[in-house]
Amino acid sequence: MIAQELIAYLEPLNLSVCYPFAPKTACMSSQVIDLHGNPQTVIQPNDILIIGVGQAHIQHPANAIRSQLYGLISIPYKKGKIIDAGNLPATLALSQQYSAIEQIARMVAESKAILILLGPYQESFVSAYNGFSKSKDYLRLAIVDHKIDWDSDSDDFHAQNFANLLLDEPYEKLLDISFIGIQGYFTSQASLDKVQRRKHEVIRLGNLRGKILEAEPVLRDAHLVNIDINAVRASDAPGVGTPTPNGLYAEEVCMLARLAGLSQNGQILFVSGLASVSDSNNLTSMLAAQVVWHYIEGITHRKLENPLKNAPENKKYVVSTDVSNVDMIFYKNEVTGSWWMEVPVANRKKIPRGKLLFRCTSAEYQLVSYKEIPARWLRWYKKAQKI
């Protein structure tokens, strides 16, 4: 990707960074390349691009996050460069913003770079997906939020129902969506039913507490991840659009971000929900900055794993079931400890090898040893019969 293609969409930064924890030379600002100041930069695979999106009336939320992020300790990143490409002009109409985000996401997908979007409006995530899906199919998404933003109104589009456009996508385009950190008292039964009918996944807040690794399989499979700061409790993130007393703890959302960064599929992170005008003592922008920091730190530890490769560390386990001609297939990497399941699809011509491979946990393999069927395997098996 040529830098000039991006610069045509974006404005340069006007940023003030504070360094309360370490001198500037030890902080991220010393390693981030300003694209507008270095327009000849060649964007290559594994480069990380940071872009601010969304309209702003006073201070751009993306700049508030950057001011905190670039004052954090630098992260050794040998796989590529970290580049700040600036912000979409805040004066653009929303429709123009959506179109620009879609084009940028498409370019990033084609270049195999990694895109970090910072903005207030969660519905922009759909534009990132639309652009990314132009060059890739069978995508997997993860959305960290306090509720499922879906309703039955198909004639409108906004932050409270942006999932409408995602949940109706065919599996050939959007294979899987996981909603993480959902709080039941904010989430309608109709939206839960919709997700269940589509054989997607919901991980409730209560199921994550003390068991954050429950979300590891879906985050490490995801191509695109949206972390909405509204999912965090107000005492840790007061500067959001809808602060609430319950939610993820600050350290939990950072752990989720790191897991997303570890995904060898991951190419887009969108951090949304910050309302900088209501952010007391920059607490929320600092948390959002730490979310981004942990995502990048996760990227540095990515390992390319292929459980199907004929290698001594890969083990295959076949478990018979009570259903005729249906076995449960598990794979394990003995070095990393990663686990996967595999299910056959109905139309084997649509998918390479005619099977879907997805991450799981060791606990699910242990469950099978007790003759119980893991909910994850059943969900994917039912989905595979519709492909």
**317 - beta bridge partners?**
330
Torsions phi, psi for 270 (to 5 deg) = -120, 115
Q: What is the pLDDT of residues 332-367, one digit of tens each?
A: 999 999 999 999 998 877 887 889 999 999 999 999
Query: Mean pLDDT over all residues of the chain?
Result: 93
The DSSP 8-state label assigned to residue 146 in this structure reads S
Domain map (residue ranges) of the chain: 3-300, 314-384
**CATH number attached to the domain at 3-300:** 3.40.800.10
pLDDT of residue 1: 58
Calculate what percentage of the chain has a pLDDT beyond 90: 79
> Residue 160: its pLDDT value, please?
85
pLDDT digits (tens, 9 = 90+) for 78-133: 999 999 999 999 888 888 999 999 999 999 999 999 999 999 889 999 999 999 99
- DSSP letters for 189-218: HHHHHHHHHTT-EEEEHHHHTT-GGGGHHH
Residue 70 sits at the vertex; the CA angle it makes with 68 and 72, to the nearest 5 degrees, is 75
pLDDT for 176 equals 98
d(CA 387, CA 382): 10
Residues 4-14 have a mean pLDDT of 90
In whole angstroms, give the CA distance from residue 376 to residue 215.
12
Q: Is the predicted pLDDT of residue 58 greater than 70, yes or no?
A: no
